[in-house]
Amino acid sequence: MTIYFDHAATTPMRPAVVEAFTAALPVVGNPSSIHSQGQAAKRMLEEARETIASCLGADSVEVTFTSGGTEAINLAIKGIFWARNSSAVERPRILVARAEHHATIDAVEWLEAHEGAVLDWVPVDSFGRIDVEYLRSALADDVALVTALWANNEVGTLQPISLVGELAVAHGVPVHVDAVSAFGYVPIDFHAAGVAALSVSAHKVGGPVGVGALLIARSASVTPLVHGGSQQRARSGTLDAPGAVAFAVAAREATEHLVTSAERLAALRDRLIRGVLAAVDAVELRGDPADRLPGNAHFTFEGCEGDSLLFLLDVAGFSVSTGSACQAGVPEASHVLLAMGLDEPTARGAIRVSLGEDTTGAEVDAFVAALPSAVGQAREAGYSDRETVLGH
């Protein structure tokens, strides 16, 4: 039986979510229809919206459902940029770090290539934390927006979002926060953060794939990406009521016992980190050693390819990743690790182990026990090709 250590990529659907999802799927009715069946679907949808809003410290009117985190991020970044440049005042600059998720990197680079955006890359330190002093000095009237991760999806480092929000608001600059990796693992209060927009996704908290949300502050302006029936404030399209219901159940379950769950995960994470550092030589923990996501452990192993190690661990019965699942199978060093100052050979030896609500201490110990053999074989092989490594 394979042990799942890739919760940062996607999480198993929680039993209560599956039950709610399957119960909602047969419900007939377009939430925009005015007949009784349509209004029944709309009630389901709006109750889900209210639940998700309450889990994130927002108002229900501030929740725009999307097809997932990537769409939410694109809507926020492009929509805010367009809205901020819709008048005679030019605001071409976007403040963004190179250690962001590819949904953000690709969105801002598209704006640079097609819409005249000027990208001002905010440095990150060796832990992947953004340089707040650089941000402070870079904020000015020509900045369209700041976009930042709440928690780095690869190395797990938590970002100083409250401070980022304070600095940007003082200059009248809206902030978008990618909270896809943070939601359900650390407390999030949208209103307290003082940001303009915040992205989340259901499948990261035990919900279904294909459902996400963008929180848009009442005071923020976002130009839609998708036009049609104006079903939502910043997005057109018939809404997925069953998906919203499932997302709401997942959000509620992920947040109602968040503190105790995070404490348990952090204890398992620290147990894993101690075990790995003791069991293998020439290994480094990446990301902040303490101020990180409770279920995230990210390592680089000297002298081997992360892909080789991933393949060998897979055969040994452990599912891990080399970083973002969106880049899986692409033979290149992590842009996050390169932004943190690592050289390419070191960055190519990375493995991310991410724990979830069902992870046990016995599973952590089994991983630590199996790791030295896998690392030894990966170092001996020195290849990233799956067949070559496994046939070595």
- Establish whether 326 is a catalytic residue: yes
CA-CA distance, 111 to 9, in Å (whole number)?
A: 26
Encoded amino acid at 15, one letter: P
CA-CA distance, 100 to 211, in Å (whole number)?
A: 21
Beta bridge partners of 4: 319
| Nearest alpha carbon to residue 206 among 271, 151, 251, 257 | 251
Options 170, 326, 328, 369, the catalytic residue = 326
Backbone angles phi, psi at 195, to 5 degrees: -95, 165
Instruction: Give me the long-range contacts of 315-319 (CB less than 8 A, separation at least 24).
Output: 315/390, 316/370, 316/373, 316/374, 317/1, 317/2, 317/3, 317/370, 318/2, 318/3, 318/5, 318/366, 318/367, 318/370, 319/2, 319/3, 319/4, 319/5, 319/6
**β 296-301/350-354 pair status:** antiparallel
Catalytic center residues: 326
